[in-house]
Amino acid sequence: MTTTNPRIAVCDDYERAALAGADWSAIRERADVVVFEQPFGSAERTIDALRDFDAVCLMRERTPFPATVIDALPGLKFIVFTGERNAAVDHEAAARRGIPVSCTPGGPSKASTAELTWALLLAAMKRVVPADGGTRAGHWRLDSQGRRYALPANLEGQRLGLLGLGQIGARVARVGRAFGMDVVAWSQNLDDARAAEVGVRRVPKQELFETSAAVSLHLVLSARTRGIVGAADLARMRPDAVIVNTSRSGLMDERALAAALAAGRPGWAALDVFDTEPIPIGHPLLALPTVTISPHLGYVNAQVFSAFHHGIVEALAAWLDGAPIRLVNAR
């Protein structure tokens, strides 16, 4: 009797790092592994690409996996995603189908995101990107088009406003204090005790937007926080202020942000997350010289990816053995 090896799809390997990041030899002896390096771009393309696979490995939330996708893949038997939480997978739909969903260790991703927050904030406030582009183009202290840009600003003595004071927000706060900044925070659940624990002050949301030289978003995206930063909040910001988002694009109205930047309040944005990823060519934010952009790099580093890829291999081995681990849904 001939048996067919299970087929495993490794999705979203934009960095071409999955197979090099762990030892897949034991998995490849028992299954056929196919790696997808480019985004699918739509639910229809996702379904077409994954129709014949038994197991799917997802990198964070790069590929949405709603019920419509899960139900259109009749051969799907297992899902594993990297990290410990994934709002892009419909866990209930998988459970209804009897499909186990596993996660991996998160690695030092919170530290990585906090560090990228500061990389973007500093790049924006110190005008690193226009200065770099101008220098390469032969325009000393002008941008790449030979245009003047706003002078860099000091951080010391300025106010840093944080929306959210969880593990990442607290890390960002500590660095802000080390720079000599006046760090304040707001969230719907924040109280004075938590703020004092981190060494910052709780202030009303309106005051935070009106007075901060830099505002950084560190909230979990949920029904309650979606769109929590809107046009009115942005209009309150100082014309020299920077807004940073390394959390989730859904926290802020992307169209309102583009309009606000064009109007001059705030003066700059530093963004790692977008409504559509990869961000489409021709997007209004790409046309603005006052936007510093990175391609969702918050969790992208060698240590985090090592934890992710080793975790995927462990989860696949356990599933192939009939005893999946780190389950996040009830089958």
The 10s digit of each residue's pLDDT in 154-195 is: 999 999 999 999 999 999 999 999 999 999 999 999 999 999
218 catalytic, yes or no? no
The yes-or-no verdict on residue 260 having pLDDT over 70 is yes
pLDDT in the model for residue 3: 60
pLDDT in the model for residue 329: 78
Whole-number Cα distances in Å, 199 to 155, 158, 172, 178, 272: 18, 16, 12, 11, 26
Catalytic residue among 91, 159, 171, 296: 296
pLDDT in the model for residue 330: 57
Stretch 79-95: mean pLDDT: 95
> In this structure, what are the phi and psi dihedrals at residue 271, rounded to the nearest 5 degrees?
-130, 135
Stretch 207-222: mean pLDDT: 97
277 catalytic, yes or no? yes
For residue range 29-48, list pLDDT tens digits in order.
999 999 999 999 999 999 99
For residue range 107-138, list pLDDT tens digits in order.
999 999 999 999 999 999 999 999 999 999 99
Catalytic residue among 139, 207, 277, 310: 277
The two counts, helices (H) then strands (E), for the chain are 12, 12
**Which residues lie closer than 8 Å to 274 by C-beta, 6 or more apart?**
249, 254, 283, 285, 296
Domains along the chain with CATH numbers:
7-107+301-320 (3.40.50.720), 109-293 (3.40.50.720)
The yes-or-no verdict on residue 69 having pLDDT over 50 is yes
Output the average pLDDT for the chain: 96
Answer for the pair 172, 216: CB distance below 8 angstroms, yes or no: yes
Catalytic residue among 91, 159, 236, 248: 248
When pLDDT is cut at 50, 70 and 90, the band that residue 4 belongs to is confident
pLDDT in the model for residue 241: 98
| Amino acid code (one letter) for 100 | P
Stretch 8-18: mean pLDDT: 96
Spatial distance between the Cα atoms of 276 and 133, rounded to a whole number of angstroms? 26
The yes-or-no verdict on residue 1 having pLDDT over 60 is no
Spatial distance between the Cα atoms of 89 and 83, rounded to a whole number of angstroms? 12
Spatial distance between the Cα atoms of 330 and 319, rounded to a whole number of angstroms? 15
Answer for the pair 137, 260: CB distance below 8 angstroms, yes or no: no
Residues of the chain with pLDDT > 70: what percent? 98
